[in-house]
Structure 1
Amino acid sequence: MLAIRLVRGSSEPAALVLPVRPGGPDAPAELAPTAVAPDDDVRAEATAVLAASRLTGTAGELREHLRPGGRPARLWLLGVGDGGERDWRTAGGALARAGRDETQITIALSGEATAALRGLAEGLLLGAYRFRLTEAGERPALAEAQILTADPDALAGTLATARTTAEMTMLARDLTNMPASTKNPRWLADQVAQAASGRADLHLRVREPQELAAEGFGGLLAVGGGSAQGPRLVELDWRPAGARTHVVLVGKGITFDTGGISIKPVPAMKLMRKDMGGAAAVLAATLGAAELRLPVRVTTLAPLAENAVSGSAFRPGDIIRHYGGLTSESTNTDAEGRLVLADALAYAVRELKPDLLVDLATLTGANAVALGKRHAALYSENDTLADDLLDAISAAGERAWRLPLADDYLEYLGSDIADLHSSPARGAGSVVAALFLREFTGDLRDRWAHLDMSAPSWSDDTNGELVKGATGWGVRGLLRWLATLG
């Protein structure tokens, strides 16, 4: 992993990065003031290059200027936009990729130091990410980024937080990117066990099929019943001393989704290894909360199953009895995620009794139809909880938009033969899925939020801190939000 060091100065760096910000109206871009100023001759040359380069200062914009025989030998002009955290994160991602042929780069920091450093460090680490099974060919030469700052000691904690946040996001990306030929419920549960091993402050329980049957997790057993790889329920608990708030996070963990008997067409199935992105996010966030020693209790529930086609797969029209007793009728076995989440939500309400309950799920394609590829849909009846989550998600550089839990659509959940219809054919797909989940939140209905994050869990291209493939969406936002509780 790329090493990042805070330094007060650097002796004749080989590659120096200077931040560039937009000028005023009708004015060219300009060098941004930095805490550690470059030598006068370097600054003068950079200013001359900037005047001729037509840079705008947009975050992530880059120009390289060679200085044969000089030190630094290469000068990079890096657009940082308004100098806020989001723009520095974008700039860091672009710089990590552009600087792959360098061994070391030195970056002068500008703007509000804490926000700029956090954005830059996360952007550098996440922009340099490569999935471990696709690292064919030469590895990037870039091994270290030195960040020039007036007071390295004062920013050490910020850098540590940024590093942990990026590491947990990359863990979620790794888990989500892993092909289903390797990744099944047992494998994923084992990965969590390895990540949590050796930590007495993390408590892990993994329920296997026999325990799930004995305790009545009917949704999870139905969805996982068609696979040779039985389902699991992972329960991971971070319980710091003195915690006054208990949060339960629930993440959908379908390790591969064929659609079951209501089988998907091939184009819709080929990326279904990502259908456990919600589980990856909440598990990584809980591990991150423990690493950062956040003073809030966090319990994560990850219902894991493979939705496969076989003689033992559940069928359209089956009635499923969920944890706690509610029944649902499913006429579409491709609406499976809500079935496993229903079990986990009901268990959380009945047995864990948390203060707040949040679930993340790659739940519906309707999310992307409504909001596009970058935004998750957020549902909650609690304005404070919704606002706090939206603020944290935005601050972390992720995106979400609140949609209504419209009671007008409750009639769609009516069933003639069960308590609920889990997959009605009528519209408002993301809203109706959220309404179905709400039925399992009991007394926590007014302290629950649902994030439908199917669209932003995967990036089709490389941009800013995002790399093509799994994004690890939700880890950064959850860690920001958890850090505000206590």
Structure 2
Amino acid sequence: MLAIRLTANPDRLDTLVLPVRTGATTDGGTAPAMLAPTGVALPDEVSAEATTLLPATRLAGRAGETFAHLRPGGTPQRLLLLGVGDGAGRSWRTAGAALARAARDETHITVALPADVDSDAVRALVEGLQLAAYRFRMTDADESPALAGVELLVADPEAQREAVTVAETTARMTRFARDLTNAPSSVKNPQWFAAQVEAAADLPDLHLRVRGPEELAAEGFGGILAVGGGSASGPRLVELDWRPAGARTHVVLVGKGITFDTGGISIKPVPAMKLMRKDMAGAAAVVAATLGAAALRLRVRVTTLAPLAENMVSGSAFRPGDIVRHYGGLTSETTNSDAEGRLVLADAMAYAARDLAPDLLVDLATLTGANAVALGKRHGALYSDNDQLAADLLAAIEDAGEAAWRMPLPADYVEHLSSDLADLHSSPDAGAGSVTAALFLREFTGDLRDRWLHIDMSAPSWSDGDDAELTRGATGWGVRGLLRWLATLR
């Protein structure tokens, strides 16, 4: 990660970044872009030069616009004008991401922040910088960007210290989730995933338990065992518990953790299979959010459950038409082994509802392709019967720069879950695949039905290219939104 330093007196001044805002008139129209007055005085000749230069750049001040100006022999040696839009959080996040790319070949930059900058803007800027600077490559070649240090020039560094700490923790955990999701399945099996969590969980008041195949069988986690039964790499259930003293609210987060999904006997076509290393992005997100809650010492108890399995084809794989007995005793008929994620989630959610008795239950899963059909690549599909819970999480997700849309849980679709052989049909052929999957999961929430929320985040878990703070590959979707939401709970 980039080294971020708050200062009122820069150590060096190689490249100076000056924010440019969109202009506005009193009648709501547009005006020329303008340099934002900085909180720390700049050399007179630099301010004058930047002011003279700005009209010639044709910058509009839109978030993410950049213009570089060389000053041979001068101090600083380079001016970089950076559009920050209207100064809202999302604009600063976009600006930070653009800056990370524009200054990739620099070794050190100094950003002169506006005099009126607030903590939300600083947090967003740092998140954008750190997330856009992320790259995942498995190679011995040194391909890291030259940019290593960023100084944020402010009049009162101490006033922004907490914002930078929160931003860096959030970015670090998002990058951790991206690392887990990007890792190829040649190394990423359930045991490996559990080992990564164990290595990262060395924090006070953080407790970890990992169940292996024998414990899962002894305790009746039939869904996890069924999905993982076809693989030489046995399934796991990671239980990570952040228990701060004095916490009055207990949240359980559940994340789907299929470390590779062939579709099982209902095998996927090759194009649909090639990115199935990302089918554990939900588990990565909830684990990273819990680690972030512990690192930030949030005053809410968080228990994460990550059911991990590899859905493979073999003589021991579960079959279409099998009856699966889940934790707690409910049975489901599955006629499609490629609808496996809901089976492992059902076990974990039933365990949470029956044995952990939390105040709130939230699950994240790369569950269906129907999510992308309905909402495209950037939005998760959010389901809940609890209006307040849905509104609170949607607000946190939006504030974090992620996106989700609330979807319905229609009562007349429940009949599609009926089975002649079992308590439930796990994969009915009724259309509305994301909706029926959510309705199936709701059956395992017990007394938490009115305090449960599900997010189908298959589409936004992956980006096909660089886009603002996203980089090509895993996005770490959900970590930022969950941490924002958890910070509001007590």
* TM-score range relative to shorter protein: over 0.9
Structure 2 equivalent of residue 162 of structure 1: 167
Q: Distance in 2 between matches of 1:416 and 1:296?
A: 43
Whether 2:33 is the aligned partner of 1:29: answer yes
Q: Give the TM-score normalised by the residue count of structure 1.
A: 0.98
Decide whether the 8 Å contact of 1:377 with 1:452 is kept in 2.
yes
Which ranges in structure 1 are unaligned for 5 or more consecutive residues?
Answer: none
Decide whether the 8 Å contact of 1:109 with 1:116 is kept in 2.
no
Decide whether the 8 Å contact of 1:255 with 1:274 is kept in 2.
yes
1:113, distance to aligned residue in structure 2 (A): 2.0
85-94 vs 381-390, which moves further: 85-94
Structure 1 equivalent of residue 6 of structure 2: 6
SS in 2 for 1:133: coil
Q: Distance in 1 between matches of 2:268 and 2:141?
A: 31
Determine which of 134, 139, 163 is the counterpart of 1:129: 134
Question: How many pairs align?
Answer: 485
Q: Give the TM-score normalised by the residue count of structure 2.
A: 0.97
In structure 1, what residue type is equivalent to 2:487? A
Mapping of residues 268-347 of structure 1, within 5 Å: 268-347=272-351
Structure 2 equivalent of residue 432 of structure 1: 436
1:11, distance to aligned residue in structure 2 (A): 5.9
SS in 2 for 1:268: helix
Instruction: Give me the CA root mean square deviation.
Output: 1.1
Classify 1:12/1:312 alpha carbon distance in 2 versus 1 (closer, same or farther; 3 Å): closer
Q: Distance in 2 between matches of 1:173 and 1:61?
A: 26
Q: Distance in 1 between matches of 2:11 and 2:343?
A: 60
Deviations 1:154-187 (A, max 9, x none): 1111111111100000000000000000000000
Q: Distance in 2 between matches of 1:481 and 1:12?
A: 38
Runs of 4+ with deviation above 4 angstroms: none
Decide whether the 8 Å contact of 1:12 with 1:71 is kept in 2.
no
1:26, distance to aligned residue in structure 2 (A): 4.0
Deviations 1:126-170 (A, max 9, x none): 111111525734421111000011110111111111111000000
377-386 vs 130-139, which moves further: 130-139
Structure 1 equivalent of residue 195 of structure 2: 190
In structure 1, what residue type is equivalent to 2:111? I
1:10, distance to aligned residue in structure 2 (A): 2.3
Determine which of 393, 396, 399 is the counterpart of 1:389: 393
Q: Distance in 2 between matches of 1:450 and 1:404?
A: 11
Structure 2 equivalent of residue 201 of structure 1: 205
Decide whether the 8 Å contact of 1:132 with 1:174 is kept in 2.
no
Determine which of 136, 154, 164 is the counterpart of 1:149: 154
Structure 2 equivalent of residue 172 of structure 1: 177
In structure 2, what residue type is equivalent to 1:84? A
1:36, distance to aligned residue in structure 2 (A): 1.9
Determine which of 77, 81, 104 is the counterpart of 2:81: 77
Deviations 1:386-408 (A, max 9, x none): 01001111111111111111112
14-23 vs 271-280, which moves further: 14-23
Deviations 1:52-77 (A, max 9, x none): 11111111111101111211110001
Identity of aligned residues (%): 74
Whether 2:266 is the aligned partner of 1:262: answer yes
Determine which of 372, 375, 382 is the counterpart of 2:376: 372
In structure 1, what residue type is equivalent to 2:383? Y
Deviations 1:433-484 (A, max 9, x none): 0000000001000000001101100000101111100000000110100000
Decide whether the 8 Å contact of 1:255 with 1:273 is kept in 2.
yes
Q: Distance in 1 between matches of 2:474 and 2:50?
A: 37
Structure 2 equivalent of residue 99 of structure 1: 103
Q: Distance in 2 between matches of 1:255 and 1:241?
A: 34
In structure 2, what residue type is equivalent to 1:6? L
Which ranges in structure 2 are unaligned for 5 or more consecutive residues?
Answer: none
Decide whether the 8 Å contact of 1:348 with 1:354 is kept in 2.
yes
